[in-house]
A and B are shown apart, each in its own frame.
Chain A
């Protein structure tokens, strides 16, 4: 009974948070609004620049992959929100890590993750009793056997509603279990977000330098390519927040450029010019600022170049 109460409460929360509200909480912010995911939203440029076999078949001589990364930079990294909208631990985001292949599309690569095992001994010696897995699997199989009815049911019959039903009633009548309920608030963030046992702390990327190996200069071996705590990425521990910060750095030049273009379009160009004229007097101050911003740009460019080098497994493809 208590489990049902909790579920009802979560259903209600889900509706309030996600379905009943029409307001766009982003719209009053200086940060651009969040576009809903769309079929063609993110990789439009990618589509325009590649033949249809690029993604479907794979293999063969790689082409257009720098363009792909630029698209990714523009559509994913440059659109990462600021701290306030991302949450203190960037919990708005989750991450997918795509690793290098063994097949030499670029150079072969392998990745070794290191994760926190502090307190694991203590956890393992705690004798918490759970229901045996057997009963879990019995339940799982029963659920999956019920899938057979989906194949003969008319899809519309599964969602019959009355005209006066409000959204909560509809939702409870036929809750679609392929949508999750909200995380209960009392549960703390997991190892992906807050350092604790099982938090990934670092990974080391290895690669095989095929040119050196094939030419006989090197024996066959995988060698160190980079680790996430290097002086360029400076990822202390691999919680989501750290990656999101890196993502912001990778996307910043694109974001700044877009903002500049938007400002120009909005007629702010003139104002800016006026401001610049006024500032001419304080030339030395300006040039100091300029060199500081140039330095910042250089640093960001260096991070992006390093990232591309690693994306293509030190094969020099990007050049």
Chain B
């Protein structure tokens, strides 16, 4: 590409999600106090099932492990959000500034690890997406442009193509051509589809940011199809009936169905559990039909 010159394609990519680094984590503290204080058994790298967030060393050594073992073998990294601790300890309430600062710290670590030493471009493309904990207060994200979308663009400026600044400022979604004119990753802001975001209602009203997101998606997918490009959809919150508003979920499913020549699949995080979700286009169309007939 003109930006990167020659690029070796390995046929591999990494998906990393929900790092949740917690600067207040203390080794040997009490797990029932979120590993922030007291005397307990909190392990150096954190403990499975005991409910604490990630110690900083877990994040740092994870990224280091990727650098040592994967960096030269992968083409790009899909990184699906939640780069800050949960807001679960009243003794340490999160502020908007905390959220921006930690996201900046994680973003800097990622950039420094995966940048090209010869020039400012990344050696391995990183495609971030917005987690429900990356916003203040958690889950709440309003239509842009806002302070949050501007800050996010600043934090992710090394990962988002400059040509998409204005679009990003409106909705915190964008796409990255990971193999020029061949393969793209679409980073969807799933908080506009998320039932738990009280600032959005559905994806059927034109005022809603979720409605606008689907117009953007349609515009982008149409172009991808005309260029014979293929895409992965990525985001933080996965599509299911519990997470997405029904009007958003059925649209997501029918777009995936009608662009089955273009869309390879969807990559998500948020649930902390490894599983796959089949999405049924017939059920989605039936739901749409039912809703349209009502009108």
CA distance A69 to B170 in the complex (A): 36
Known pairs A46-B242, A98-B268; A220 contacts B182 (CB<8 A): no
B39 interfacial by beta-carbon distance below 8 Å:
no
B109 interfacial by beta-carbon distance below 8 Å:
no
A1 interfacial by beta-carbon distance below 8 Å:
no
Interface residues on chain A, number (Cβ under 8 Å): 119
A103: contacting residue among B53, B138, B215, CB under 8 A: B53
Tally of A-B Cβ pairs under 8 angstroms: 369
**Are B277 and A96 closer than 8 Å at their CB atoms?**
yes
A191: contacting residue among B16, B59, B179, B264, CB under 8 A: B264
Closest to A99 in B: B15
Scan residues 185-214 of chain A and give those whose CB is less than 8 A from a CB of chain B. Answer: 187-193, 197-200, 205, 208, 210-211, 213-214
**Are A95 and B266 closer than 8 Å at their CB atoms?**
yes
Which residues of chain A have C-beta atoms less than 8 A from B283's C-beta? 34-37
A301 interfacial by beta-carbon distance below 8 Å:
no
Which residues of chain A have C-beta atoms less than 8 A from B136's C-beta? none
**Are A177 and B241 closer than 8 Å at their CB atoms?**
no
**Are B258 and A69 closer than 8 Å at their CB atoms?**
no
B163: contacting residue among A17, A137, A187, A240, CB under 8 A: A137
Which residues of chain B have C-beta atoms less than 8 A from A26's C-beta? 282
B274: contacting residue among A80, A95, A147, A205, CB under 8 A: A205
Min Cβ gap A237→B in Å is: 12
Min Cβ gap A226→B in Å is: 9
CA distance A85 to B16 in the complex (A): 35
Closest to B245 in A: A39
**Are A311 and B275 closer than 8 Å at their CB atoms?**
yes
Comparing A112-120, A258-266, A267-275, A284-292, the segment that makes contact with chain B is: A112-120
CA distance A247 to B85 in the complex (A): 33
Which residues of chain B have C-beta atoms less than 8 A from A72's C-beta? 275, 277
A106: contacting residue among B16, B45, B273, CB under 8 A: B273
CA distance A99 to B51 in the complex (A): 18
B270 interfacial by beta-carbon distance below 8 Å:
yes
B154 interfacial by beta-carbon distance below 8 Å:
no
CA distance A122 to B226 in the complex (A): 19
**Are B48 and A97 closer than 8 Å at their CB atoms?**
no
The 8 A CB mask of A54-82 against B (1 = contact, 0 = none) is 01111111100100110010001101100
Min Cβ gap B254→A in Å is: 6
Known pairs A38-B241, A179-B288, A208-B62; A136 contacts B214 (CB<8 A): no
Known pairs A140-B216, A144-B212; A189 contacts B261 (CB<8 A): yes
CA distance A312 to B283 in the complex (A): 29
A155 interfacial by beta-carbon distance below 8 Å:
yes
Scan residues 63-106 of chain B and give those whose CB is less than 8 A from a CB of chain A. Answer: 65-66, 69-70, 74, 80, 82, 85-88
Closest to B68 in A: A221
Min Cβ gap B216→A in Å is: 7
A232 interfacial by beta-carbon distance below 8 Å:
no
**Are A115 and B13 closer than 8 Å at their CB atoms?**
yes
B207 interfacial by beta-carbon distance below 8 Å:
yes
**Are A221 and B65 closer than 8 Å at their CB atoms?**
yes
CA distance A91 to B286 in the complex (A): 17
A210: contacting residue among B9, B48, B254, B262, CB under 8 A: B48
Residue of B166, B239, B280 most packed against chain A (CB within 10 A) = B280
Scan residues 137-152 of chain B and give those whose CB is less than 8 A from a CB of chain A. Answer: 138-139
CA distance A248 to B46 in the complex (A): 36
Please give the residue numbers on chain B whose beta carbons come within 8 Å of chain A beta carbons, in ascending order: 9-20, 43-54, 58-59, 61-62, 65-66, 69-70, 74, 80, 82, 85-88, 132-133, 138-139, 163-164, 166-167, 170, 179, 181-183, 196, 203-207, 211-212, 214-216, 218-221, 223, 225-228, 230, 238-243, 246, 249-251, 253-290, 292, 295
Give 15 new A-B contacts, CB below 8 A, not counting A95-B278, A197-B230.
A60-B88, A85-B282, A93-B279, A96-B277, A98-B269, A102-B59, A103-B20, A113-B12, A115-B11, A115-B13, A124-B182, A177-B215, A178-B203, A208-B45, A214-B47
Please give the residue numbers on chain A whose beta carbons come within 8 Å of chain B beta carbons, in ascending order: 17-19, 26, 34-43, 46-47, 55-62, 65, 68-69, 72, 76-77, 79-80, 85, 91-117, 120, 123-124, 128, 130, 133-134, 136-137, 139-141, 143-144, 147, 150-151, 153, 155, 158-159, 177-183, 187-193, 197-200, 205, 208, 210-211, 213-214, 220-222, 240, 243-244, 247, 307, 310-313, 315, 317
> Could you show 11 A-B contacts with beta carbons less than 8 Å apart?
A38-B241, A94-B278, A97-B267, A99-B269, A100-B274, A104-B58, A110-B15, A113-B14, A128-B228, A137-B163, A190-B264
